[in-house]
A = this chain, B = another copy of it.
Amino acid sequence: MGLSKMLKAISNPNRLEVIEALSQGEKNVEGIVQATDMTFANASQHLQVMKNNNIVKTRKDGHYVYYSLVSDEFLALHQHITKYAVKEIAELARMVNWQREASDSQNSVSFEELEQMITEQNVLLLDVRPAEEFESGHITGAISIPMDVLISSLKDFAKDSELVAYCRGPFCMLADEAVKLLKDLGYRVRRLDGSYPEWKIRQLQS
């Protein structure tokens, strides 16, 4: 049956990592390899499986083959599944909430609050993902401060505006680290209770 094939195609830890990576935007095989610690050939084979099952599509440019998720509908489905996992699969719920004091309401900001803050112009929205991911798509108004840049150059932000950091999704800890770091420096900073791909789906639905 076609549904079971599709589900098989996404029910492998490596391929789920690929999907998470591609949720941030298209990547070539090298990019996938870096995001997942698979070998090159192995990554390529998994990508073939996903292509044959309509999970991803490809675009050729010079030497490179760029992979991306097949549709926004699929991205939305993947987020439904992930949300279920974070809420209902005990093991994952624990992992996500593990060392994240940030997820209490004191330290996290909802999309609604963020929109409010943006219209009021008193927020600096930090995208702490790698620069390439920012370039292939980000929340409107965000600035790119990849974690390594934040750590090494310790940029100065205006102390009077509030900071909000976000990253890849519920399993991404970068934003939490950024919050911790900046808090210690005396900034007013919170984590976005959401991520770029979730924001993207929200935009499509409104």
Which residues from B are CB-within-8-Å of A16?
1, 3-4, 7
Which residues from B are CB-within-8-Å of A92?
2-3
- CB–CB A73/B84 < 8 A: yes
Which residues from B are CB-within-8-Å of A11?
4, 7-8, 10-11
Which residue in B54, B80, B84 is a CB contact (below 8 Å) of A89?
A: B54
Which residues from B are CB-within-8-Å of A77?
80-81, 84
| CB-CB nearest in chain B for A92 | B2
| CB-CB nearest in chain B for A14 | B4
Which residue in B71, B73, B80, B89 is a CB contact (below 8 Å) of A3?
A: B89
Which residues from B are CB-within-8-Å of A160?
none
Flag A1-24 by CB within 8 Å of B: 1 or 0 each.
111101110111100100000000
Which residues from B are CB-within-8-Å of A8?
8, 11-12
- CB–CB B2/A89 < 8 A: yes
Which residues from B are CB-within-8-Å of A7?
7, 10-11, 16, 81
Flag A67-108 by CB within 8 Å of B: 1 or 0 each.
000010110010011101101110110000000000000000
| CB-CB nearest in chain B for A73 | B88
Which residues from B are CB-within-8-Å of A84?
73-74, 77
Q: Shortest CB–CB separation between residue A177 and chain B, in angstroms?
A: 21
Q: Shortest CB–CB separation between residue A176 and chain B, in angstroms?
A: 19
| CB-CB nearest in chain B for A89 | B2
Q: Shortest CB–CB separation between residue A49 and chain B, in angstroms?
A: 13
Which residue in B4, B87, B91 is a CB contact (below 8 Å) of A13?
A: B4
Which residue in B6, B12, B73, B85 is a CB contact (below 8 Å) of A6?
A: B85
